[in-house]
Structure 1
Amino acid sequence: MRNATSPRDSFAQRLLIGSVRKSYDPVVDIDWAEPLDPDKLFLPARVVSLCGTELWDAMSAAERRELSRQELANMLSVGIWFENLLERLLLRELLAGDPTSATSHYTLTEMADECRHMMMFGKLIERNEARPYWPRPPVRPAITALPALLRGSMVWVAALVGEEIFDALQRRVLDDPDLQPIVARTMRIHVTEEARHIGFARDALTRRVPTMSRGERVYARLCVAVAGPLFVSLVLNRHMYERAGLDGRRAHGIALRNPVAREARAIGAADLAAFLEEHGLLGPVGRRWWRAVGLL
């Protein structure tokens, strides 16, 4: 085995050892034949976007369960899009890297993890008897074009925004007794492996910040500012409300303003926001835009 020769390689080597000790294969580590509990939700009520509103109070138990199913299907779909995007960014990083280094080897390990996560998310959507959500035509070209815009430090900014907020949400709910057991098992696997991915991205960005040019720092702040509202727009997809039998536009507006949901988003984004603030990447515009959508 090649000896690590840089701090980045040393860190990657530790992640590689962790990956050997604790990684999962969702095909064999999740019982996909496990029956769904007819009384349990697919997301705990406290993180469903309409919880605490008059609209939620007026919904029956069956309607709430269906909304939780659709919100989970949308969240998993967003996860699939994001991990697809991250795979393309990491492949490009490999082209410029040393293929004998621990950093490149961990990058490949992370990509293998993400491939399994995409399959795991897809299987969970199917097992929950839901349908995936796909970007609408106006949004699809923008998502497709993102790899051309995300280079250097922005690769790791995108990785953290996409990974940390979901990770924090999952950590809050995976042990909830009202959660479907198969959903909890999926979340536990994802949280375990994402912890290494988040550490890898944070380490890369921390090392990059001191060498940033003024222009790169301004661009990184802009990417951070835009990423927050984009994330919220994807997870509050009005079409999931329509599939749950609600007026999509009305429900979307209520969810966006819902103080309970805003608090949940802010809690999920708190550690990431603190990290970005610490490194000077969440500027005044970013703070204003993140606050507007409930991430601060």
Structure 2
Amino acid sequence: MGEQVSARLLESAAELSYDPATEVDWDAPLDPDQYGLNPEWSTLYGTSLWDEMSHEQRVALTRHEVCSIMSTGIWFEMILQQMVLRDQYVKDSTSNEFRFALTEIGDECRHSIMFARACEKMGVGSAYLPTRASIELGRGFKTLASAETAYTGILVAEEVLDVMQRDWMRGEDVLPMVRTTSRIHVVEESRHMSFARQEVRDHLRGVSPMRRRTSALIIAIAAHVIVSNMVNRKVYAAVGLDEERALEAARTNDHHHAMMRTSSRHLMAFLDECGLLTKPAVRIYSRLHMI
């Protein structure tokens, strides 16, 4: 990546970074009427099942859903850090690119601790792990993914979450703790996304059509693993709902499908710009309601 871009990102990090340990009021009591995320982002919002739920159940569900999303975020941030470290292995440690890559890793460490602490505060803990198959696929991805597949995989997770969190941090009925953690993540991840987008452009420059098509498919498969794990099926039973009925309601929820397309709009535009929206990839994104 260009040294000027990296230098600009380093300046931004120096001017606008946060320490969640002091920025978040961890001791403040949680208002029992405030949601974990804007209700409109709940997987059940807009369904008949949502209409049947009590206010207490709705609040509890959104808290479990946001904790599931945060737990998935921690999982993927662990993958992200390993991929970035591997990419920077034995590179010029005096370069701005190297310095920013390590700055990003430091940010991600703080984000993971912040999310884990928020889940603990909401009484959920870190119970919502990806499926065993997804964990093993993630293990392979972090070990083998390189160049554009690694950095676009990072963008898939960060771009989708960014749009969600921009809403959460403005939600008047959302817990202040979630609003603050969302604001911190949005500000700092904007630099990470700029870094990843530039790395993708650089790595794709001059590649063969075959490699571009292969990368497009790998990235789409990674997106499927990430997005399908964002809300764990156990969140429904945790708030007293019939798990199978809730899963079916979420699966057929047109409102949530529209929200997912909204959260993926910028990502899809970038993939299209880079020639990574091939027909096989689009089929996968369509099944995920990302396009």
Q: Normalising to structure 2: TM-score of the pair?
A: 0.96
TM-aligned CA deviation for residue 104 of structure 1: 0.2
CA–CA distance in structure 2, aligned partners of residues 207 and 13 of structure 1: 17
Identity of aligned residues (%): 35
Q: Which runs of 5+ in 1 are unaligned?
A: 1-6
Deviations 1:237-262 (A, max 9, x none): 21111222222233122212201100
Farther-moved stretch of structure 1 (209-218 vs 108-117):
209-218
User: Which of 206, 211, 229 pairs up with 1:211?
Assistant: 206
Contact 1:157 1:220 in 2 (8 A): no
TM-aligned CA deviation for residue 285 of structure 1: 1.5
Contact 2:42 2:256 in 1 (8 A): yes
TM-aligned CA deviation for residue 140 of structure 1: 2.3
TM-aligned CA deviation for residue 271 of structure 1: 0.4
Task: Tell me what 1:111 maps to.
Answer: 105
Contact 1:40 1:179 in 2 (8 A): yes
Contact 2:36 2:62 in 1 (8 A): yes
Contact 1:224 1:282 in 2 (8 A): no
The answer to whether 1:243 aligns with 2:238 is yes
The answer to whether 1:81 aligns with 2:81 is no
Aligned residues: 290
The answer to whether 1:146 aligns with 2:145 is no
Contact 1:237 1:252 in 2 (8 A): no
The answer to whether 1:10 aligns with 2:33 is no
Task: Tell me what 2:173 maps to.
Answer: 178
CA–CA distance in structure 2, aligned partners of residues 143 and 231 of structure 1: 9
Task: Tell me what 1:3 maps to.
Answer: none
User: Which of 37, 46, 49 pairs up with 2:40?
Assistant: 46
CA–CA distance in structure 2, aligned partners of residues 225 and 253 of structure 1: 24
Deviations 1:174-220 (A, max 9, x none): 11111111110110000000000000001111122222223321221
Task: Tell me what 1:157 maps to.
Answer: 152
Moved over 4 A (4+): none
Task: Tell me what 1:128 maps to.
Answer: 122
TM-aligned CA deviation for residue 282 of structure 1: 1.3
Farther-moved stretch of structure 1 (199-208 vs 136-145):
136-145
User: Which of 265, 272, 275 pairs up with 1:280?
Assistant: 275
Please tell me the root mean square deviation across aligned C-alpha atoms, in Å. 1.3
Give the SS at the match of 1:176. coil
Contact 2:134 2:225 in 1 (8 A): no
Task: Tell me what 1:263 maps to.
Answer: 258
Contact 2:153 2:223 in 1 (8 A): no
User: Which of 17, 22, 32 pairs up with 1:23?
Assistant: 17
Deviations 1:253-293 (A, max 9, x none): 22122011001100000000011011100111111221122
Q: Which runs of 5+ in 2 are unaligned?
A: none
TM-aligned CA deviation for residue 143 of structure 1: 1.8
Q: Normalising to structure 1: TM-score of the pair?
A: 0.94
Contact 2:72 2:229 in 1 (8 A): yes
Give the SS at the match of 1:95. coil
Contact 1:154 1:223 in 2 (8 A): yes
Contact 2:151 2:196 in 1 (8 A): yes
Deviations 1:144-175 (A, max 9, x none): 22212311111111110011100111112211
CA–CA distance in structure 1, aligned partners of residues 191 and 171 of structure 2: 23
CA–CA distance in structure 1, aligned partners of residues 134 and 286 of structure 2: 23
Deviations 1:118-163 (A, max 9, x none): 0000010011111221233333222222212311111111110011
Code of the aligned partner of 1:182:
M
Contact 2:155 2:193 in 1 (8 A): yes
The answer to whether 1:190 aligns with 2:165 is no
CA–CA distance in structure 1, aligned partners of residues 231 and 24 of structure 2: 28
Code of the aligned partner of 2:31:
D
TM-aligned CA deviation for residue 80 of structure 1: 0.1
Contact 2:9 2:100 in 1 (8 A): yes
CA–CA distance in structure 2, aligned partners of residues 216 and 248 of structure 1: 41
